[in-house]
A and B are shown apart, each in its own frame.
Chain A
């Protein structure tokens, strides 16, 4: 029987998950402290958590519930987006539990299983639980084995739903991704696996679908007849920080292109889904991911870079090779630019230029659709010298928004046409209302809405794009670029050869 108080027309009532528990593995780690716990607090503060809700932390610490609550309180207080309200916290804190133990320790997992089933009687949580694996992938097999052994991953045994949340990296290449997928899908069912790509939790990214499929203005020109090229940029001003050990083994392409940028590309290039639900959207995304072609001549159509010592935002920063724990002869890239194609009727012949890098002049992620020039200009050549391509830019972060660039007459007695920008600032006006990506995604996991989570087929399809490139790059040396520049010269030359240029993002 459906809830009589829920009415699809009643959109004031928020979606609230069923009574459930959130089990966080690696709860003392960075991600849990900076993102997950604050997000849980924010959800509680916004009244979006069910009446019965428990958080279980699991980590190798010799702690009681109280010690963990202290850590959680500090994490929530420093990371929360919404105002601090003691009564909300104390309500939440009453349902925070800590289970100490290592991943190999059978007794600890039995204890965890017991704690979960105790919740049934204590707090009326009927076996629903989401397991958040905020741990390195190397620890996945043993944790998943333990969950299987104790029956915690089994929907039928637990009498409710059991879901698992995994973070990137989703493997290291197609083979390892497949192994990981098999492993997770085996322990749980494929239906219950949620892969978090926090980019997809961002409002602007979801707005891409609204912009494209709710409007009639853009769709007719959203194809190779009108689009000249697409640029997808993800620039970070930071370096690798303390992640050298991880970063040096993967590089930019595996770290961000395989997941975030491939997802953005899929959303921009996909066909219209038959409905706005998880399956329909996934079908279309998968089609377009499978249609991506990598250049046959990898070295002319991709550029790898590595940053040198330089200045970023008024500070002198070390080069990649001087960063702590980076091997001296490291050939790992911190910048990558590539020219991809999408082999279908809509996009044949349109280059998709994708670039991502660290130590760029500023932090920005954006999608720019560059339109073809008008086939005939009735103006005098000199009048339109300053007229560029029409552009539609979707800024993902920061200053979320949409910009449309088009030519307009410069006021005056002569006919002179120049580019101007029409700007819709999403962020500026909606900041207060726009939730943190993790908030949205955790809520979706608990509600069971998979629309914003890539599935294993999508992950594998994206590796199919990255793997051949990585193979070709193996052993080559990345081009140096100075920290604080928009990547190596070679990347500019790559576009210049085709008569194009990177947008200054």
Chain B
């Protein structure tokens, strides 16, 4: 491990190359570069998650922590870890302060592993528009987490408006276990569905996505009802023959019960996975996720998300302009 304080991008590139050489070709089979844009308070959490994900997908991990964007003096601190506490990946943790944080790509670009896919993951409030963040523009796959937005459900609309193929949201990977159980329940029946009810808190972004998915697949608009818990509790389906099929989560035991008219209850595994496993699931696929697009479209009432063109163009947006309007004339172009 090497720590570099108040350093430059060039030094970081050199130090990473040195570490790789001395580690003896530890991660010669890189599958991707994972750029993690992380909130200062969540660095530990992001590192833990990336470690789990990296054990399934050998990667170069670049963790970017941006702080004090409006501060005048720029500063870059970096820590380089090749195969150590962050699992079998080569990692660079970078803290950027001041104006540099708005130009993080200038440090990140030379660090991207040549010709392998780039995945950018925001472990912080998702950007309003991904095009505002050059780290999102350079990526082949972009992973946001609506649950971290101030208005998680409202953020889904932002994601839908901003969507281009290759975007996904962790709210979507969070419901894969639910979707697995529901799809499994449908393997054993061939009766159509009349009504769908989802019981989940109003602020839970996974509920509209699950509803969107069911709507896209079954053609039934789901209703929502809030329960007592802080997470999604149940999905109740009314089938065409009048029978019901309810999938109810036990909030503590990590299981769900599948109730079907005329059959005994089944207990199925349904536990909250660690963030790292959700991230690993995201990294398994680097191509656009069409079922996500369909679910997001149905959830937000937008249409044909899939037909949008993939590449984004960076749009320059300086938060300093909003906060210190008087600073604008001093650095008009260069910043």
Contact of B187 among A16, A422, A428, A432 (CB under 8 A): A16
B-binding segment of A5-13, A22-30, A236-244, A278-286: A5-13
CB <8 Å contact, B268 and A5: no
Residue in contact with B55 in the complex, picked from A9, A425, A431, CB distance below 8 Å: A431
Q: Mark A1-39, 1 if CB is under 8 A from B, else 0.
A: 101111101111110101100000000000000000000
Of A3, A10, A431, A433, the contact of B291 (CB 8 Å cutoff): A10
Contact A85 B254 (CB under 8 A): yes
Contact: A9 with B187, CB < 8 Å? no
**A-facing mask of B13-36, CB < 8 A → 1, else 0?**
000000000000101110100000
A91-B269, A428-B88 are contacts. A50–B177 as well, Cβ < 8 Å?
A: no
Contact of A423 with B291 in the complex, beta carbons under 8 Å? no
- Report the nearest A residue to B253, measured CB to CB: A87
Bound CA–CA A19/B181 (angstroms): 13
Min CB gap B19→A, angstroms: 18
Instruction: Provide the residues of chain B in CB contact with A126, threshold 8 Å.
Output: 188
For A123, what are the chain B residues with a Cβ–Cβ distance below 8 Å? 264
Report how far A126 CA is from B263 CA in the complex, Å. 13
Which residue of chain A lies nearest to B214 when distances are taken between CB atoms in the complex?
Answer: A5
Instruction: Among A5, A9, A88, find the residue whose CB has the most chain B CB atoms closer than 10 A.
Output: A5
Interface residues on A, range: 35 or more
- Given known pairs A51-B266, A91-B255, the reply for A429 and B88 (CB within 8 Å) is yes
Q: Which residues of B contact A425 (CB under 8 A)?
A: 28-29
* In the bound complex, CA of A70 to CA of B78 (Å): 53
* CB of B268 to closest CB in A, whole Å: 6
CB-defined interface of A470-501 with B at 8 Å, one 1/0 digit per residue? 00000000000000000000000000000000
Interface residues on B, range: 35 or more
Query: CB of B180 within 8 A of chain A?
Result: yes
Q: Is A204 an interface residue (CB 8 A)?
A: no
Cα(A91)–Cα(B250), bound, Å: 14
* Contact between A13 and B176, CB atoms less than 8 A apart: yes
Q: Does A66 contact B (CB under 8 A)?
A: no
Within 8 A of B (CB), among A403-435: 422-426, 428-433
Interface string of B134-177 (1 = CB under 8 A from A): 00000000000000000000000000000000000000010011
Q: Tell me the smallest distance from the CB of B107 to a CB of chain A, in Å.
A: 26
User: How near does chain B come to A154, taking the closest CB pair, in angstroms?
Assistant: 22
Q: Which residue of A lies closest to B260 (CB)?
A: A124
Across the A-B interface, how many residue pairs have beta carbons closer than 8 Å? 112
Contact indicator B186/A3 (Cβ below 8 Å):
yes
A60 → chain B closest CB, angstroms:
32
Q: Could you say which residues of chain B place their CB within 8 Å of the CB of A6?
A: 183, 186-187
- Cross-chain contact B267 with A91 (CB below 8 angstroms): yes
Q: Report Cα–Cα, A424/B255, bound state, in Å.
A: 39
Q: Distance in Å from the Cβ of B200 to the closest Cβ of chain A?
A: 19
Tell yes or no: A52 within 8 A of B by CB: yes
Nearest CB in chain A: distance from B137 CB, A: 26
Q: Do B291 and A9 touch (CB < 8 A)?
A: yes
- The answer to whether B217 touches A19, judged by C-beta atoms less than 8 angstroms apart, is no
Q: Can you name 5 extra interface pairs (CB under 8 A) apart from A13-B180, A430-B58?
A: A5-B179, A10-B290, A47-B268, A91-B269, A124-B188
Query: Which residues of A are in contact with B by a Cβ distance under 8 Å?
Result: 1, 3-7, 9-14, 16, 18-19, 44-45, 47, 50-52, 85, 87-88, 91, 94, 122-124, 126, 401, 422-426, 428-433
Kindly list the 4 A-B residue pairs having the minimum CB-CB distance in the complex, ordered from nearest. Answer: A429-B58, A5-B183, A10-B291, A1-B190
